[in-house]
Amino acid sequence: MQSNDVIKETSQYIIFTLDNEYYAVEVLKIKEVIGYKPITRIPNSPPFVKGIIDLRGEAVPIIDIRSRFNLPEKEYDKFTVILILSIKNKLIGIIVDSVSDIINFSKEDIQPTPSLITNSNIDREYIAGVIKKENYFVLIVNIDKILFQEELDLL
C-alpha cells in the first residue's frame, strides 16, 4: 500500500424491507434478529406499539415500523422478523417485512437525505441518509429518532 492510499472506515448495516423498499440499520444497534412470534397487546398504547414479547424473561416492547412510517399494514408471514434494537439503552423490537442482507458501507458512500424522498411517506427525520446499491436505493434509518423521548419513557 502506498502512503497516499486512504483506508475507508466502513460500518456494517443490516438491510431489511418494508413495503418493497430497502432500509438499513447499523449492525451495532441490533442486539439480535428473531422470527416473528406472538405479541401480548398493551391496552391504550399508541397504534404503532403492537405490545410486548418475552425475550429470555425480559418484556420487550414491539413496534410495527410500518405503522410508525405511515405505510400500509401487511399481514405478518414466514418472512416477517423482529429486530431487537438498543435505543438509548432500552431494548425495543421493530417488526420488518424481511431481512435481506448484511453489508459494509463507508461513510463516504452515504449520501445526504434528499429534501424530497420519492415513493416514501416517511418523515425525513427518521432517515439518516441514502446509499445507492446496484440498481436501487437503501434508506439508512436513524434508529435513535424512531421514538421521541416521551415515547421511550412510556415504554
Going 135 to 93 to 35 to 77, the CA torsion angle's sign is: negative
Let me know: does 35 contact 93? Beta carbons within 8 Å: no
Buried b (16+ CB within 10 A) or exposed e, 57-69: eeebbbbbbbbbb
Q: Which range of residues forms the domain containing residue 40?
A: 10-154
CB count in 10 Å sphere of residue 86: 14
Q: Do the domain assignments include residue 140?
A: yes
Please report whether residue 3 resides in a domain: no
In a domain, residue 55? The reply is: yes
The domain that contains 23 carries what CATH number?
Answer: 2.40.50.180
Q: How many domains does the chain have?
A: 1
Q: What is the pLDDT of residues 103-112, one digit of tens each?
A: 888 877 787 7
pLDDT score, position 119: 45
Instruction: For residue range 11-27, list pLDDT tens digits in order.
Output: 899 999 999 999 999 99
Residue 77 lies in a domain: yes
